[in-house]
Structure 1
Amino acid sequence: MKAIFPLTKVAVLLITLLVCCLTHLTAEELKQVKIANGEWQPYTSSKMKNYGVVTHIVTEAFKLEGVKAVYDWLPWKRAYQSVVDGSLDASPGWIQTEKRMADVYYSDPIFENKLVFFHLKNLSFNWSKFTDLGSMKIGATLGYNYGTEFQEAEANKIIDVVRVKKDEQNYKLILNNRVQLFPISLDAGYYQMRKYLKPDQADLITHHPKAIAETRLYRLIVSKKNPHANIIIIKFNKGLHQLKTLGLYDQYIAELRGGGY
């Protein structure tokens, strides 16, 4: 009877070592990541070159670590849920929130999104708070959240906001002087102008350098239930760091701002 206990301990030790080895091998053999992606031009889109700049960054970061990124295109709500429930491994372009942190791990930031006012070049103004905007009309898009301060200023009638169905309508409103300002992310604004306006029209519009809201950092998410979550995040972060060191990250951002996607 005394011999049973030493044998049991040895068996437990062997099983533990076997599990550790298998886990290590699985992590080292990670060659593919299934990613839930969605439409958010110019950052991610199944219709764009390299699927948009963010997707391009994600693909190349994983590739530098020997991992192939495979994409499944879904509405964003389903994309998030597919990661949480484990049917897909990861998804790019998410802001870190306390609520989501209960479900997912976050990578290092993939890109930052600066929200600014677009306006006619011949409109000269400066502002530090929303009360400085006076009687200027602001075009905005239905359903969009432009940050806590903007939303509160709109709700309290501190700013005069006109909401329309689609972003592209706001550029026409600016050109026709029906609104003076339109809030949108810096890169998305210039991308949309190239897409929806004639070159001579787009040349009439610029942006104010002051950010409307705190710059948002967008990251890759992986479910905490995913058995390979840590290795996926580690590999992606390492690849992203290499991408920046090699100068490729800056190259992709420059291509985005030059209309390359």
Structure 2
Amino acid sequence: MPRIHSLGWLSLMLLTGTLYASSNSVRLTSGEWPPYTSEHLPYDGIMSYIVTEVFSKQGIRVEYGYFPWKRSFRLAQYGEWDGSLGWTKNQQREKDFYFSEPLLNGHDVFFYLKDMPDKVFTWKDYSDLKGLKIGATLGYIYGPGFDKADLDGEINVLRFPSDADLIRNLYLGRLDLAVMDACVGHDLIELSYPTHSSLFGHTRKVVRNSSFRMILTRKKPENAGLMEKFNQGLASLRDDPVAFKMLSSVYARPCYSEYLSEGTNSG
């Protein structure tokens, strides 16, 4: 369901005594991807907070629509919505979208179900994953290594509508591995299986390090100027105390900080 957010919006209206026209609003698709985006989190998650705050300081209100991620992408791609957030950049997507500077960084890993409490799954290259059922999310890319192994048939990849579906099917034994952002996986496990979270593990080796960005459709020419304006505002957000506190709370979490140490490899 679409939700409208703009921090400080009410005070701004009281000061100006006017309502902004549609040209002073932006409609972005999103999805359930805690801790980054979720309609059940304060400020709709840390990534949504960053976007909302940058636009708010420029007098622009944000409307978020929550959909399955593949649909979120298509709605933005075809110009039915202005854009979306939480996407990584590649040449194919740049044909359809303007990309913001990075909002947050993340780390994709493999989650697995332990058959023993101290079980640790390790892998060196994609040949080690032959014969395993690997869950991935529709519409996502996981870097050239994973995508090539998938395309070449070196690994067996099954696609699902959401990361939550991956966790559920992993828990039910229908998957051997599930690839997703480390912090997203941990949050979904704690949300869905709080009393069984110790049954899940994840790899130390990273599938992909990535930068998450906001995208705006090229179907609307005015979005080029809007993105330039957004990136200028994003650069100044580092001085925002609420953003700093929220970012610090994310970066301090083990699911994030353990991948920042030197020597962590990606596939």
TM band (smaller chain): 0.5 to 0.7
Tell me the equivalent position of 1:79. Answer: 76
Tell me the equivalent position of 1:124. Answer: 120
- Once the two structures are superposed, the pairs formed by residues 95-244 of structure 1 within 5 Å of their partners are 95-119=88-112, 120=114, 122-133=118-129, 137-141=132-136, 143=138, 146-154=142-150, 158-159=154-155, 166-173=165-172, 181-199=177-195, 201-223=196-218, 225-227=220-222, 229-230=224-225, 232-244=226-238
2:240 to 243, 246, 249: 246
Residues 106 and 219, structure 1, Cα contact 8 Å, conserved in 2: yes
SS at match of 2:235: helix
Aligned-partner residue type, residue 64 of structure 1:
K
RMSD of aligned Cα (Å): 3.6
Deviation of residue 211 (structure 1)? 1.4
Tell me the equivalent position of 1:34. Answer: 26
TM-score scaled to structure 1, two decimals? 0.65
Q: Structure 2, unaligned stretches of length 5 or more?
A: 1-20, 254-267
**CA, structure 1 residues 181+233, in 2 after alignment: closer, same or farther (shift >3 Å)?**
same
**CA, structure 1 residues 125+247, in 2 after alignment: closer, same or farther (shift >3 Å)?**
farther
**CA, structure 1 residues 222+144, in 2 after alignment: closer, same or farther (shift >3 Å)?**
closer
Deviation of residue 164 (structure 1)? 7.0
Residues 31 and 68, structure 1, Cα contact 8 Å, conserved in 2: no
**Mapped partners of 1:253, 1:168: distance in 2:** 25
Residues 57 and 252, structure 1, Cα contact 8 Å, conserved in 2: no
Residues 110 and 220, structure 1, Cα contact 8 Å, conserved in 2: no
**Mapped partners of 1:235, 1:30: distance in 2:** 17
**Mapped partners of 1:245, 1:101: distance in 2:** 29
Residues 32 and 70, structure 1, Cα contact 8 Å, conserved in 2: no
Aligned-partner residue type, residue 230 of structure 2:
F
Residues 32 and 39, structure 2, Cα contact 8 Å, conserved in 1: no
Residues 91 and 220, structure 1, Cα contact 8 Å, conserved in 2: yes
Q: Structure 1, unaligned stretches of length 5 or more?
A: 1-28
**CA, structure 1 residues 248+241, in 2 after alignment: closer, same or farther (shift >3 Å)?**
farther
SS at match of 2:101: strand
Higher helix share: 1
Residues 77 and 97, structure 2, Cα contact 8 Å, conserved in 1: no
SS at match of 2:87: strand
Tell me the equivalent position of 1:61. Answer: 54
Residues 113 and 218, structure 1, Cα contact 8 Å, conserved in 2: no
SS at match of 2:208: coil
Residues 121 and 202, structure 2, Cα contact 8 Å, conserved in 1: no
SS at match of 1:115: strand
Residues 77 and 96, structure 2, Cα contact 8 Å, conserved in 1: no
